Structure 1
């Protein structure tokens, strides 16, 4: 199994990206890493004894975060994300991982891989830590202007992913709304509610934002405008709350003594809330496995993103989505 890693994408590229890819190549079984990018810069971060074991696919250009995604991928044909996507399209690689521009990765996937037949718009699907374990939220960044049928397709794809990757039997699907009662929300979610209610999914109705951390639903569906705000808010709240706890429990000598006793528990909480432990977010709905990583991803996040890519391939997510669509249209 070959995973193409965009070595030039992200705030800490190529150093941390290469480190994470090397870790994946060492630990994950049956994985071959293809580092895509500028060879002279990548080489600096590969130990001499490993250079003969890691493939580097040379390309000369990089798409920066501030560039217009669609224009950049058309102009920069030899950019790392474009080349990595092409390797998947041509079958040279089974999946790609990138921490670069999300917009560029989206555009490259749509133009290079295309959509799965029957899917109107893809969705970025991320795992959120909750009191009941990891739960899915989608869309968190692909399409801020969604239609009701898009939300239905997100729910279907998310349900398949939750079952095949997270191991959840008959995942409970919920629609993110401003109230739990039927009939709440704007025109989009009201129309989506009706479609979800009529579907064969295990639809549990509406869910409010405050319910998300409690894990009351396995798959939470919304448009990307709402989803991205929710995701960033949760990330910010988790980080700030943990910093506040650390400040307060070390504010005096007595508290510091007590902090020693609770330190193991705090480490466990920090581990649960660490986005890098969940790896990247798959772009569901495109005809190829494309894993989107946080722009600030470091070694551990890239390692786990490669793990997610491997799980998607082994779980045959694309094939399962195609099969699910076919069955839904036959009803």
Structure 2
């Protein structure tokens, strides 16, 4: 290569280096040194997001981020929400993350049998949700784990929980067995709430549902202890033994003094308890008593039941509980 050719080559190298330097100076760079949560408020423009990135030390230049977005970014809009920026991301990757809507999701769990007052307490204690809510109607929430975004309103989350219950209850009702004890979805929900509270053993749910279905059909008192407790605590644990005066109390829920179902659900029943009521066990059992292992002993007659109760009391005396 002659001298003239070398001069041209050196000029091109210099021009390239200068152009690269100019581009780097104009475009800036990302400075995400560690995984970071970044929040884009609703209604933010790209310019506002660029300024926020610079202010939080995540890019070296807001103007550079904007220029990079115009030159190399897609035309997709950015999304509001909370995003996780990972260490070493470049500006194009940051923009793509904002445009994807891949926001950080958080979760809240409503266990089976959690009454609405405790659902309300759990949601009000979640400081990443916003807004005030009333205690949801009992039985309106489907127990499950729900995702939410930072800043989502509590009211919106409750609406999703209630819509999930409405959908599941309608689907389960459509598949109900013939000749069940309840004639409306509302009554199914009420009876399922009793089943949910009466047994903690999944294997017993259909049997407990069968027993209470038999009592409903026979016009018997259901005599479900949780229906005594509900008007006292709104479904929270009583923390003591039930008093005789409470057993004798006359109200819309106490099934020791009220024939038939209580006036409304006494908790938020889960899918399995609802399914058990809509397809109960084929049993003639009318009575049950605890067996000391977390389950129950079932009986068809009062005589059998009284014998089972005597065994339960003997076990409790042996344990020093009586």
Q: TM-score range by the shorter chain?
A: under 0.3
Tell me the TM-score normalised to structure 2 length: 0.22
Report the structure number with the largest CA radius of gyration. Answer: 2
Q: Which one has the bigger strand percentage? A: 1
